[in-house]
């Protein structure tokens, strides 16, 4: 079996070159060159890995800083809300008091004046002995003269019988009375007892619990 031997080409005008290195040295140099390549690749990979780790760490730090800032904002808002707690309590108390005042206005009646209005319109000799009047609705936008302020019955006695028609007519002439009727209840030992069923308007309210009117400031 013949072996093909390759002869280096010789170019005219150039010096001939001869590779005098032994085959073992050539292989050793090839191994070193390949080793340097792998070392370079390994170092490059390490640098890339370090860059990736550094980038991830930087992102983590930024996220932690943003979280800390958000927590600080949350704490600040909570502190501000805590500072406003007394204001909220004051507003709630004011609302509650306004509700109580509104409820009180429904019974804001000068009862003695209301009963006296009825007694003054009755004939002489008639005495009021009792009454059962219930407060009407809370004053609103309607005219007080047209809205019921109190309704119920008033008991009166007289030594002499009175005319129901005249007594009713006299009571209907009173400005504060919306509706009225006089009825006989009983007669005992010379005393005549009558009941006056009446509706009074809101002009009988005392106005003690009415809200204060806001004054204009110049």
Q: What's the pLDDT score for residue 151?
A: 87
Alpha-carbon span 197 to 78, nearest angstrom? 61
Q: Best-predicted range by mean pLDDT among 24-28, 88-92, 101-105, 128-132?
A: 128-132
Is the model's pLDDT at 90 over the cut of 90? no
pLDDT tens for 151-186 read: 889 999 998 888 888 888 899 888 888 899 888 878
Contact 53, 61 (CB under 8 A): no
pTM over 0.85: no
Radius of gyration of the chain (CA): 55
Please count the residues of the chain: 218
């Amino acid at each position: 079996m013949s072996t093909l031997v390759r002869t280096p080409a010789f170019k005219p005008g150039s010096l001939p070159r001869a590779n005098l290195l032994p085959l073992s040295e050539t292989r050793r140099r090839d191994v070193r060159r390949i080793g340097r390549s792998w070392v370079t690749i390994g170092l490059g990979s390490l640098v890339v890995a370090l860059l990736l780790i550094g980038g991830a760490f930087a992102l983590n730090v930024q996220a932690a800083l943003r979280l800390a800032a958000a927590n600080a904002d949350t704490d600040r808002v909570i502190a501000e809300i805590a500072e406003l707690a007394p204001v909220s309590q004051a507003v709630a108390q004011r609302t509650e008091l306004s509700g109580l005042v509104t409820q009180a206005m429904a019974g804001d009646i000068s009862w003695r004046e209301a009963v006296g209005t009825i007694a003054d319109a009755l004939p002489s000799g008639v005495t009021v002995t009792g009454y059962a009047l219930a407060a009407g609705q809370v004053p609103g936008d309607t005219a007080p003269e047209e809205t019921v302020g109190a309704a119920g019955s008033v008991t009166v006695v007289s030594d002499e019988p009175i005319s129901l028609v005249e007594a009713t007519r006299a009571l209907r002439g009173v400005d504060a009375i919306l509706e009225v009727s006089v009825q006989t209840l009983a007669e005992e030992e010379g005393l005549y007892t009558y009941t006056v069923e009446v509706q009074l308007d809101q002009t009988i309210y005392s106005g003690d619990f009415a809200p204060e009117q806001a004054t204009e400031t110049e």
